[in-house]
Amino acid sequence: MSINPPSILHPVFNAAQPFPPLPDINKESIRTQVFTHRSYYGRPNHVFEDHPQDPSPDNEKYEHLGDTVLGLVVTKLLLEMYPNLRVGPSTKIRALVVGNSTLADISRMYDLPARLRLHPAQAITLRASVNIQADVFESYVGGLYLEQDLPGVQPWLKALFTPYATEAYKRVREQHRLPPLPITELVAPELVLSSPPPSPPHHRPGATPTTIGHLALFNQQLQKANRIVEWIYSDGTGEGTKTTPIWIVRCEVDGEVYGRGQGGTKKAARNEAAKEGLKKMGIEV
């Protein structure tokens, strides 16, 4: 039984929309480094800069480069697919598309984890890690970009991520409680005339609208940065009623307050605090 969690997104690949083949990296030295995890050589991590005559042979630099390339290509792809999309929703969609679970899923479909060079004592654990699986995909993107530049990478990534972007767009649209788009608009948005914006959802008087999606995006950003979050609930005495209490929460990241929120449920309160946290991180929502 697989220990990998399922991908958040499940686009359908078929004859009309095939899963694109993996482009080749022709230079052997780049290809070798792409698949070399830092555990293979066991070099110390806390080094400011490598010696010019002895650069680090692992794939971390390629992974870092690939992460940037992915962000650029997917951001441009979303701009082309949904030119009227605002920055906040676009950021949420991009986070879903390039999130670790999605990248790990793609990595496994290309069988990239099997090609990793790892320390033998850690190989089984590392190869099964979602983060490592996602990292090697980013490393491959970085290595391919280094060899072939953007023209060699962008067509492949656009073909690969267009179905994921479509799926993520629908998911975030649902989170914003908007009605589904017509099929024609999902398939070819540029061919459909713009329609008036839908009316905002109706809320019962006195009810607190729940901010949907901020919490997931906030947690995802913190996970990628390996930061620790703590949710601290305070006494809501005097707020709400016995049947409809008001939850009050403070969000701390590595001991620093990132946001506060309140709501009719704990999750709603965390969503509000997460929204403030995203703004503090510079992510417009």
Which residues have a catalytic role annotated? 67, 138
Give the Cβ contact number of residue 79 at 10 Å: 11
- The edge-to-edge listing of strands for the beta sheet with 247-253 is 229-234, 247-253, 256-263
**Separation CA 139–CA 36 (nearest Å):** 10
Q: How far is CA 197 from CA 127, 201, 204, 226, 284, in A?
A: 46, 12, 21, 38, 21
Phi-psi group of 254: left, alpha or beta (phi > 0 → left; psi -120 to 50 → alpha; rest → beta): left
**Separation CA 270–CA 259 (nearest Å):** 9
